[in-house]
Amino acid sequence: MERKFQLKFPGFSLVELLVVVCIIGILAGVGIITYNNYLASSKITVVKNINEQSIRYITAESIKCLIGGKITVMERTGPAEVSCDKDPYVQYTIDQIIGNIMGYVDTNNLFGDNPFDKNDLEGSFMIDESNPNKLGRTNCYFKNGRLRCVSLIKPNELFINENDISI
């Protein structure tokens, strides 16, 4: 009687391994694209939040000043706590009050770095009437009783927020 020995190697064939590697490659490709989209949308959300925080903070500080409270502003010597009590010799206009508040926000980078560019030395906030030219930047200005903040959230897409501030 003749015996046949059959050698069996446990494991996977080359074809099975190639199929698994292809599947992992496809999943990794989809995962990277999904992650990049998630990252971009989260940066846009951060810029919109900075825009809304800018409007809320500047509005709240100016109202606090208008009712006679103290606010922190940027003066020539640096940040200073000033009283907005009605002094007959020192009457600040609403434009001056908001300009000083925005100067404090801008100089102290109150809302953090630009989410699209951490090396941007200007930060995420600027006082400027023109539309922002840098992705992730929020430009605010006050004109004719209206506070306006404009953010560049995509190369050709602006996010605009406005608020009326009057005495």
Domain boundaries, given as residue ranges, for the chain: 53-164
Average pLDDT, integer, range 24-46: 93
pTM for the structure as a whole = 0.76
**Whether 161 contacts 148, CB under 8 Å:** yes
Q: Residue 9 pLDDT > 70, yes or no?
A: no
Give the contacts of 51 (CB within 8 A, at least 6 positions apart): 138, 149, 150, 151, 159, 161
Average pLDDT, integer, range 114-118: 90
Lowest mean pLDDT among 21-30, 75-84, 102-111: 75-84
Average pLDDT, integer, range 57-68: 84
Burial class, 108, CB count within 10 angstroms (exposed 0-12 / middle 13-18 / buried 19+): middle
Q: Residue 8 pLDDT > 80, yes or no?
A: no
Residue from 100, 114, 118 nearest 62 by CA:
100
Q: Residue 92 pLDDT > 80, yes or no?
A: no
